[in-house]
Amino acid sequence: MTGALSGFRVLDLTQVISGPMATRILADQGADVVKVEPPKGDILRAMAEPIGAGPTFCTINRSKRSIVLDLQTNAAREVLLELVDQADVFIQNMRPGVAAKLGMSAEEVRARNPKIIYVSISGFGETGPFSGKRVYDPIIQGLSGLTDIQGGVQGPPRLMRVIVPDKVTALTAAQAITAALLARERTGQGQHVQLSMLDAVLAFMWPEGMAYHTLLDQAREQVDRRDLVYPTLDGHIIVSTVAYREFEGFCRAADTEHWLEDDRFQDAAGLITYARERLELMAQALTTRTSADWLVRLDAEDVPCGPVLARADIHQHPQVIANQILVEGQHPVAGTIRQPRPAERMDGTPSLIHSPAPALGAHTEEVLTALGITGHRLTALRASGAFGQSVNPGD
């Protein structure tokens, strides 16, 4: 069996997280992702030990092939355009205008191959006062309101400790690419997909994160959502009572059924109106027993709950083991590597980790040979500096 995207070729000119994670999803799903790197490689290669194969780079660049092209040279740009002829997707996350300076704008690439899906990922979009700014994930967190949500109504803004904007953008890009490929199958037409990190994050956070700014004809007081991590006698657990029957179950588990006689908590609307008071009462009750005791009692009443795991313990949890989420394999430089398998499970076209993250330029000769570039032309390209000094294809 082959992956769902087997037979599609993706030219990946992206670096760091948002683009490479998007193309890793496509690669695990069977697409032939050719990672086109500058002579010094994706800048993420140098940001962790071991150099060239740090943990983040390995996880988001698996299942791909790497070639090196110095796109500052005319010879390398011509090679890339020849690869465009055979590609289904061209994706770049350069700042707006940079691809055009290299002769790789959407208009130029699509003129060469009208059926290609050309994807531009940017930080802030193609226009506007921030369009030309350098950007990383924390900048988007601040502009999008994520830091305001984390800080709460009374607290100072706080960064989320995982790079949500980068990864949300990656997921959005991967979905948009497959949608564009499906549309092309129906119409025969390629298209230009434009996506900014800011666009992706605002769409992601809006449904509940911006609930007080959605229904403009209804004035609502913004209140903090209480942190649902509750201290217990010996640790912490998560408890979430959304439906009224779940609150009833909590009261039975906590031996606090008299709360159900409180005028504030007579129905689901009351649970929302007096959420702060209700959650404070629950927090006080949960300090009286151990985490294990609470999880047994709450599960018996079908109340949504779960443990709070340290990162070092996640791989040992029975549910993680049962789902076979984490897999281990060997990387030729980094050694044994543990990482998640593809999250989706398809019984007809399974997604797989096809290969470890490639060494810089490891597939340059392979890809160029398949393109018909051999012999004297390969020698001439090497002499022209098309590959920089990082690889010597054909030696």
Average pLDDT over residues 97-123: 97
User: Do 253 and 111 fall within a single domain?
Assistant: no
Asked whether residue 395 carries a pLDDT value surpassing 50, the answer given is no
With tokens 């408890």, the residue in question is 239
Task: Of 137, 100, 136, 135, give the one whose Cα is nearest residue 120.
Answer: 100
Residue 4 lies in a domain: no
pLDDT tens digits for range 309-335: 999 999 999 999 999 999 999 999 999
User: Do 273 and 240 fall within a single domain?
Assistant: yes
User: Do 37 and 125 fall within a single domain?
Assistant: yes
- On whether the CB atoms of residues 217 and 242 are closer than 8 A, the answer is no
- Residue 20 φ/ψ, nearest 5 degrees: -60, -35
Verify whether residue 293 is a known catalytic residue.
no
> Which ranges constitute the DSSP H helices of 224-350?
244-253, 268-273, 275-286, 291-300, 318-323
- pLDDT grade for 223, boundaries at 50, 70 and 90: low
**Host H or E run for residue 383:** helix 375-384
pLDDT tens digits for range 335-394: 999 999 999 999 999 999 999 999 999 999 999 999 999 999 999 999 999 999 755 454
Q: What is the DSSP letter of 387?
A: T
- pLDDT grade for 221, boundaries at 50, 70 and 90: low
User: Do 254 and 332 fall within a single domain?
Assistant: no
Residue 312 lies in a domain: no
Of the three residues 307, 333, 352, the one that is the final residue of a domain is 307
Question: What pLDDT is attached to residue 338?
Answer: 97
Residue 222 lies in a domain: no
d(CA 279, CA 308): 18
Q: State CA 274 to chain mean position distance.
A: 36
Considering the candidates 12, 32, 70, 166, report the single residue annotated as catalytic. 166
Question: What pLDDT is attached to residue 394?
Answer: 46
d(CA 299, CA 4): 38
Domain enclosing residue 141, as ranges: 9-207+325-384
User: Do 303 and 333 fall within a single domain?
Assistant: no
d(CA 144, CA 150): 12
Question: What pLDDT is attached to residue 32?
Answer: 98
User: Do 350 and 290 fall within a single domain?
Assistant: no
User: Do 55 and 203 fall within a single domain?
Assistant: yes
User: Do 240 and 343 fall within a single domain?
Assistant: no
Q: What is the DSSP letter of 328?
A: E
pTM: 0.93
- On whether the CB atoms of residues 202 and 195 are closer than 8 A, the answer is no
Residue 395 lies in a domain: no
Tell me the pLDDT of the chain averaged across its residues.
Answer: 94
Question: What pLDDT is attached to residue 44?
Answer: 95
CATH number at residue 63: 3.40.50.10540
CATH number at residue 247: 3.30.1540.10
User: Do 157 and 272 fall within a single domain?
Assistant: no
Structurally, how many domains does the chain consist of?
A: 2
User: Do 167 and 48 fall within a single domain?
Assistant: yes
Return the percentage of the chain with pLDDT > 70, whole number. Answer: 97
What is the per-residue burial (b if ≥16 Cβ within 10 Å, else e) of 65-82? bbbbbbbebebbbebbee
Of the three residues 257, 273, 307, the one that is the final residue of a domain is 307
Residue 229 lies in a domain: no
User: Do 303 and 346 fall within a single domain?
Assistant: no
Question: What pLDDT is attached to residue 218?
Answer: 84
End-to-end CA gap in the chain: 35
User: Do 303 and 341 fall within a single domain?
Assistant: no
Residue 67 lies in a domain: yes
Of the three residues 307, 335, 355, the one that is the final residue of a domain is 307
Task: Of 286, 290, 315, give the one whose Cα is nearest residue 303.
Answer: 286
Residue 313 lies in a domain: no
Residue 3 lies in a domain: no
Would you tell me how many other CB atoms lie within 10 Å of the CB of residue 214?
Answer: 12
